[in-house]
Structure 1
C-alpha cells in the first residue's frame, strides 16, 4: 500500500517503529506527549499506574494495560509510577496487502476512537503472551535483516488479533461477528471515517452501502445506541475538538475543512453539542484537564 505517506506523516520511521519503556528510558518523547497522534499506535505498560488523556477525556489505569490509538487522536500520558513496556507505531504501509489492513485494522474497529476500549486490562497469561510477541517485534525491528518486513507484519497482525480477542472476552455481550446488522454497522463506521469531512447526510451512507436509512439506524441503535445521524455528528464534533485544541486555525478554516458551508451554522452546531463557542473551547478545556 502507498496511500499512507502523506496522511500519516511517518517519514521519520517509514511504516513501522517500536520503542521501549524502562526506568532508564521513558518513551514519552516518542509518544509525542500532549500531541496529536500521527499514526496508529499500540502502547503496552507492563505495570505501574497513572492517567492517560485521550481526546481530552482522562482515563486512570493500574497494572498491566494496553492502549490503542488512531491517527488524529490527542493524548497525554502521565505515569504516577514508572513502568516497563513498549510503544508500537505503524502506518497502513506496513501491510503488504491492502486487504490485511482492512481485515486487521479498519474492519475490526479496534482503533475506532468512538467505540474502542480506552483502557484494556491484561491478566498474567496475556502479559506472558504479549511479552514474547513484543520482544520478537523489537528484535526484528532492530536487526532489519532480510525478510524483516514480512516477519514484522506477521507479528503485528498477531498482536492486533490478540488484543481483539481480549476485547471480545471482556465485552459484556459477545458481538455476533457474522450477524448481518453488525457487518453493516462496521461497514458504516469505516465509511464514515473515510467520508465524514465531505459527506454529512445519512442518505449518502445508505446509498453507498446499498441499504435504506432505516436499516442503518437499526444497526447503529443496536450496536451504538445512537442514530446514524448522531454518529456522523459525533465524528465531526470530535475532529473539530481535536483541531481547536491542538492547531492554531480560525473557526472559518475549521468550518470549511469539515465540510460546513456556513461558519455561523458550524458555530451553532459546535455550541449545541459542547455548550461552548468554538473560539472559547480550547481555553476552557485546558483549564479542565
Structure 2
C-alpha cells in the first residue's frame, strides 16, 4: 500500500488542485453525497455494501473500481470495514472529452447512462493497478521535471486497463443474454435515444418508436438500468450539454436550442435539476472556454 495517505499536484498557473491520490480506511469521506469538481476513480480494496450513484443503488464488493465524472452525485453505504484508494483529477489536468480516442473511452467508463459506473477486477488486474498507483505516488512525492506529463501517461494506462475490463465484461454479459428478446429491445432503445435525444424528450416518444406501451418501456428500463425512460433521456441530454459547455464557446441559449429547448431558462432548470448546478456555473468551473456566456 501507499507510504502516506494523501498525494497532491497543484496547477502552477492558477494554484488549483489538479490531481489527488489518497488512501482511506473508513467511510467518513464518502458517507454523504459527493459532487466533486473532478473525475474520480475509486478502487475498493476491502469491504462490501451499496453505492448510491445518481439516486440508484448498486451492490459492490472488494476489488471493484468505480468511475465518476465531475459533479456526479455518489456516496457509499458499506457493511462493515471499508478500505480503498481514490484518484481525482481535474479537466485541466486530463480531459476525457479531448482524449477519448487515445484511450478508447468514449462514454464507456464515464458519462455512460446505460452502464453501471464500475468494473469488477480480478486479482491479477488488481495487483497491476496497485503497482501503477504506487508509481503514481512515487512520481507525486518527487520534484521531477515535467511530472505532470508522466502522471498523464499513467492515468491513460489506468483508463485503458479499466476500459478493456469493461469491454470484456460487456462481451460476457451480451453472450449470457444472446437469445434474450429484451437484449434487442435494450439495444434498440439505446439507438433510438442516440438518434433522437435532441428532438424527442418524452418517454412516450420512445415507446412509440419501439412499438411498446409506456408501461412496458418503463418496466424494461427499470429492470435493466434501474432508471426510468425519462432518466435515460434527460441524462443523455445533460451529457451532450456538458460536452458543449466544455468544448465550445456557444452561448447557453444556442446549446439549449440545439438540444431541443426553445426556452433557455427551462433548459437551465433541467440541467440544474440533474446536476445541482447551473450550466453557467459548470462552464465557469469546468469549461475549457471559461467565462463564455
TM-score by length of 2: 0.54
- Are residues 1:75 and 2:78 paired? no
* Structure 1 residues 12 and 35: CA distance shift in structure 2, 3 A: farther
- SS of equivalent to 2:133: helix
Match of 1:5 in 2: none
**Separation in 1 of the partners of 2:44 and 2:122?**
12
The CA deviation string for residues 52-111 of structure 1, in whole angstroms up to 9 with x for no partner, is 100011111122111000112111112223333211111222239984355338625320
**CA distance, structure 1, for counterparts of residue 96 and residue 119 of structure 2:** 28
State TM-score, norm by structure 1: 0.55
Report the equivalent of 2:147: 148
2:156 and 2:267 mapped to 1: Cα distance?
43
Residues of 2 paired with 1:77 and 1:86: CA distance?
Answer: 14
**Structure 2: distance between partners of 1:69 and 1:233:** 18
Provide the residue aligned with 2:22 in structure 1.
19
Question: Which ranges of structure 2 fall in alignment gaps of 5 or more residues?
Answer: 1-13, 176-186, 201-208, 211-220, 241-255, 271-293
User: Could you say which residue in structure 2 is the equivalent of 1:35?
Assistant: 34
The answer as to whether partners of 2:42 and 2:66 remain within 8 angstroms in 1 is yes
Aligned length: 202
- Residue in structure 2 matched with residue 45 of structure 1 by the alignment: 44
Q: Which residue in the other structure is 1:114 paired with? A: 113
Mapped partners of 1:54, 1:230: distance in 2: 13
Matches of 2:126 and 2:266, distance apart in 1: 51
Matched, 1:201 2:165: no
Q: CA deviation at 1:265?
A: 11
Supply the distance in 1 between the matched residues of 2:267 and 2:156 (Cα, whole angstroms): 43
Q: Deviations over 1:179-218 (max 9, x none)?
A: xxx9xx99x97x99xxx8xxx326xxxxxxxxxxxxxx99
Given that residues 137 and 155 in structure 1 are in contact (C-alpha distance below 8 angstroms), is that contact kept between their aligned partners in structure 2? yes
Give, in angstroms, the shift of residue 231 of structure 1.
5.5
Runs of 4+ that moved beyond 6 A: 262-267
RMSD between superposed Cα atoms in Å: 4.6
The 1:106–1:77 alpha-carbon spacing in structure 2 relative to 1, beyond 3 Å, is same
Kept in 2: contact 1:65–1:120 (CA 8 A): yes
Matched position secondary structure for 1:35? coil
Asked if 2 retains the 8 angstrom alpha-carbon contact of 1:40 and 1:91, the reply is yes
| Paired position in structure 1 for 2:167 | 168
Q: 1:14 to 1:126 in 2, by over 3 A?
A: same
Sort the Cα spacing of 1:28 and 1:149 in 2 relative to 1 into closer, same or farther, 3 A: farther
Q: Cα gap change, 1:80/1:13 in structure 2, threshold over 3 Å: closer, same or farther?
A: farther
Provide the rounded CA distance (Å) in 2 between the counterparts of 1:93 and 1:238.
Answer: 18
Distance in 2 (alpha carbons) for counterparts of 1:15 and 1:105: 23
In 2, Cα distance between the equivalents of 1:27 and 1:159?
Answer: 24
Aligned to 1:261: 263
1:94 aligned counterpart, secondary structure: coil
Question: In the superposition, relative to structure 1, how do residues 265 and 156 fare at CA in structure 2: closer, same or farther (>3 Å)?
Answer: closer
- 1: CA distance, partners of 2:141 / 2:70: 24
